Amino acid sequence: MSLKVCVLGSGSAGNSIFVRSDEVKILIDLGLSPARVEKSLKVLGETSDGINVLLTHCHGDHVAGADKFVRRHPDAHLYCDGACYRSIADKIGAAYASLTPEYGDFYIGDVTVSPFRVDHDVPCAGYGIYSGGHKITVATDLGVFSDSLLERAADSDVMVIECNHDERLLKQNPHYSYRLKERILSSHGHLSNRACGEAIARLADRGVKQFVLAHLSRENNYPELAFETVREALDERGLESKVNIEVAQQDGMSGLFEVGKEA
C-alpha cells in the first residue's frame, strides 16, 4: 500500500493539494480554479471522478474554486467543519457537503483522516492522512507551531508546512496596513520562514525527512529566500543533511512524493 502527495499550487493566491492512496483520491482545499485542478490531475494521470475534498477553512485562497468544482463534479464528496460549512453552504448547496466530526478521526475507503485545529484567525484545520502504515500531514495557515502540532506530525512520511513570509519584507511592505501586518505576525496569523525553519528542525529531530514548504506570500516572500532561511535553521542544528525540502509554487505543481511503494 502506498500514499502519494502533490501540491497542485500553493500561495496567497490559491491552494490545492492532491493525495492518493490505493483506493481513494483526495484534494485538500480548492483555492485554485476547477480547470487548473483538472489539468494538474491529468498530468498526474488522474481524473476528478469520485474525488473527496477536505477544506481547511473558509478563506478564499482555500475555497474560491469549491462551488464551481462541485457543480462540475457532482459525485465529489466535500468535507469540512461546521464553521467552514456555514460560510460556503449558500454557494455550494447543502447536498454537496458533509460535516466532519468536529476534529475527530473519520474514514474514507482505505484512508484514515485525522483533522486537527491549527492557530489561525478563523476556525482552521490541518490534516493527517493515514493509509497502510504511512502518513502525510498538511498544516498551513498557522500562526504558531505548537507542541500539540509537533506530536501530531512527528511520525509523518511527508510534511506539507506553511512557510509564508519573511518578517523583514512584511514589516517593510508599504502596501500592507499596520493592522494587517500585526494580524499576519500574530499567533493566529501565518508562519514565517524563520518559524517554519525552527519547526522543521524540531520535526527532523523526531525523524521526519521530507518537507514541502507551502503557502508562500507573493509580496512578502520568494522561494529562494524561504528555502535558504529554512536551510540555515537546519544547518545551525546539524540537520541539513537529514532532510529533503521542496518549495511549492503558486503557479506550478510540486513533485509527486510517494511513500510505501514496494520495490
Contact yes or no for 73/37 (Cβ under 8 A): no
Contact yes or no for 189/143 (Cβ under 8 A): yes
Give the per-residue pLDDT at 263: 44
Of 160, 158, 180, nearest in space to 171 by CA: 180
pLDDT interval class at 101 (50, 70, 90): low
pLDDT interval class at 240 (50, 70, 90): confident
Tell me the C-alpha distance between 167 and 229, whole Å.
Answer: 11
DSSP string, 171-221: HH-TTS-HHHHHHHHSTTS--BHHHHHHHHHHHHHTT--EEEEE---SSS-
Task: Please check the confidence at residue 236 and state whether its pLDDT lies above 90.
Answer: yes
Contact yes or no for 189/12 (Cβ under 8 A): no
Whole-number percent of the chain with pLDDT over 70: 98
Tell me the C-alpha distance between 23 and 246, whole Å.
Answer: 26
**Range 6-16 average pLDDT:** 97
Tell me the C-alpha distance between 254 and 40, whole Å.
Answer: 10
DSSP SS3 for 132? coil
Please state, rounded to an integer, the average pLDDT across all residues of the chain: 94
**Range 162-171 average pLDDT:** 98
Tell me the C-alpha distance between 78 and 248, whole Å.
Answer: 24
Residue pLDDT, tens place only, 60-92: 999 999 999 998 998 999 999 888 888 888 888
Higher confidence at residue 261 or residue 148? 148
